[in-house]
Amino acid sequence: MLKNPNKIVNSIIYLVLVSVGIFTIFYQINFDGFWLDEMNSFYVADPNLSFQETLLRHNETDWHNPKLFNFILKNFFYLIGYDPSLARYLPFIFGSISLFMFGAISYQIKKDNTFLITTFLACISIYLIKYSQELRPYSLLLLTSSLNIFFYFKLLNNPKKKYINSIPFIIFSIINYSTHPFSLIILFSQFFFSLYRYFLFKKSIHFLLFLYLLIFIFYLVINLDYILIQISFKKYMLSYDIKNVLDGFYFPRFFGSKIMGYTYLILLFFLIIKNRSIIFKEMNNYLFFFILIIFCYFIPFVYGIINTPVLQDRYIIFILIPVLVLTSCLITELKNKRFKLFLILFIFVITLSNHFIEIFKRVNTKPQFALAFENIKDSGIKNVILYPQKDTSYPVGNLVINYVKNINFWVKNNLDFYRYEELTNDLKGFWLVCYKPNLDYDCEISKNDKYKILETIKFYQVDLSLYKLK
């Protein structure tokens, strides 16, 4: 006889859901080519460079991010080889582990079947899938944030084992905050929640305050060079449009469409209002997730007023954790069983439907270099002139050339790449590749009257033109 058949069944369902989620992340992982920021990470993480050279490249092109992800990626390339087609396996790994953590966090909060709902929502999350297929630090940010939050609640829920649980909490907190500066929002949320527990419910806070201070000191020491670089720049590279933020607080981006975004936003708002007595009056952990959601917007807004606007939706990818956990838990807190069942079925159906729609209607959103080079490969002309986007201080040419030279074996061995400024009359013919991240950008074709253009083929964000001597 099985001691706990329900637990075994739940575990099987949990593993099946996660397996489906992992498959979904892996499916068409290289559907798109690299966009400029991915080329940046690929460029910085070249395993053939020394540590110092990698650091110089990072500070030149990726200074606005901590160096942790790029150095992890560099070591990843040591193991598997420096190949763009394999590069996204690293964020795939981070995203896959994150799927496990969503259910684990949910179970820490509510020890019943609710974690299965949370896991389901995470496994078909359009946003999670998107950034688990992108060579940038956001999948790592989501993973380290989930580990941070998981061990935070392990610490809160097991006061007798606080010393044991404090070790992984410290470790993953430092890693989390060293992944992206916006993860410090989690630290502020935990600190605020700890104060709430102390003043309203007389929960001990001294040990937690000691841990926060220790973590913050370690963070400052480890990331001192990064912090000094940020201070030296008066203006951030990116800024947000307040209209885009207020248009659903990025929820349409988080959930794949305006319909889905506003559905989740309205549903979450309704559940918070409906369960307000539980969230704000009872001693539970729901309030932490509410605080975290609020701080994800409030802290960047305040910083934007004081300094410069910096909020981008991907910077707060960890907001998926409180949104999905809180939505799942608050649905199961409803007293009306029929209404509860209706909401569960409703959210299952619309989320699953949207997921499959997004898969089948998937379109290119990043430059189609690989497809363009298939045309070059069979043309018999080996000379390729790269013409990157002009009027930028960013070393676009270096990033793009480094990327395209490593796309495929035949590229590395059969084609000769030149910068546009290296064009001479010695070439009998060449392909001019124009990288145009702005679709309205027009390449300035060579004015040299010794060459004539034979054809132009347009791909997404890439124009391919064939030139020959007259």
Q: How does DSSP assign 164-186, residue by residue?
A: HHHHHHHHHHHHHHTT-GGGHHH
Distance of CA 378 to the CA centre of its chain: 36
pLDDT of residue 399: 85
Neighbours of 168 (CB within 10 A): 15
pLDDT of residue 221: 93
- Residue in this structure with the two tokens 């539980």, named with its chain if needed: 278
**What pLDDT digit, counting tens, does each position of 364-406 carry?**
888 888 788 777 777 778 788 877 655 455 567 788 888 888 8
Tell whether the model's pLDDT for residue 255 goes beyond 80: yes
DSSP strand pairing (416-419 vs 451-459): unpaired
pLDDT of residue 403: 87
**What pLDDT digit, counting tens, does each position of 93-104 carry?**
999 999 999 999
Structure tokens at 350: 């619309």
Q: How confident is the model at residue 22 (pLDDT cuts 50, 70, 90)?
A: very high
Q: Which of 131-145, 230-244, 343-357, 451-465 has the lowest mean pLDDT?
A: 230-244
CA angle (11 as vertex; 107, 9 as ends), nearest 5:
120
pLDDT of residue 184: 95
User: Can you say whether the dihedral through the CA atoms of 156, 157, 159, 162 is positive or negative?
Assistant: negative
**What pLDDT digit, counting tens, does each position of 71-91 carry?**
999 999 999 999 999 999 999
Q: How confident is the model at residue 438 (pLDDT cuts 50, 70, 90)?
A: low
Amino acid letter, 151: F
- The separation between the first and the last C-alpha atoms of the chain, rounded to the nearest angstrom, is 86
Backbone angles phi, psi at 368, to 5 degrees: -95, 60
C-alpha 136/C-alpha 138 separation (Å) is 6
Closest CA to 141 of 186, 92, 171, 176: 176
Q: How confident is the model at residue 2 (pLDDT cuts 50, 70, 90)?
A: very low
**What pLDDT digit, counting tens, does each position of 26-39 carry?**
998 998 889 989 99
In the predicted model, what is the mean pLDDT of the chain?
A: 87
Give the residue, 446 or 13, on which the prediction is more confident. Answer: 13
Give the mean model confidence (pLDDT) for residues 404-411: 69
Tell whether the model's pLDDT for residue 332 goes beyond 90: yes
DSSP strand pairing (429-435 vs 383-387): parallel
Closest CA to 405 of 43, 1, 41: 43
> 247-271 burial, b if ≥16 CB within 10 A, otherwise e?
ebbbbbbbbbeeebbebbbebbeeb
pLDDT of residue 334: 93
C-alpha 198/C-alpha 192 separation (Å) is 10
Neighbours of 363 (CB within 10 A): 7
**What pLDDT digit, counting tens, does each position of 271-306 carry?**
999 999 999 887 789 999 999 999 999 998 888 777
The DSSP call for residue 336 is -
Tell whether the model's pLDDT for residue 193 goes beyond 70: yes
Detail the DSSP E strand segments found in 125-225: none
User: What are the residue boundaries of the structural domains of the chain, listed by start?
Assistant: 5-29+88-360, 369-469
Give the residue, 218 or 302, on which the prediction is more confident. Answer: 218
pLDDT of residue 412: 58
Structure tokens at 445: 């074709």
**What pLDDT digit, counting tens, does each position of 420-436 carry?**
777 766 778 888 888 87
**What pLDDT digit, counting tens, does each position of 226-238 carry?**
888 877 765 554 5
C-alpha 36/C-alpha 40 separation (Å) is 6
**What pLDDT digit, counting tens, does each position of 256-275 carry?**
888 899 999 999 999 999 99
The DSSP call for residue 28 is T
Tell whether the model's pLDDT for residue 413 goes beyond 60: no
DSSP strand pairing (462-469 vs 451-459): antiparallel
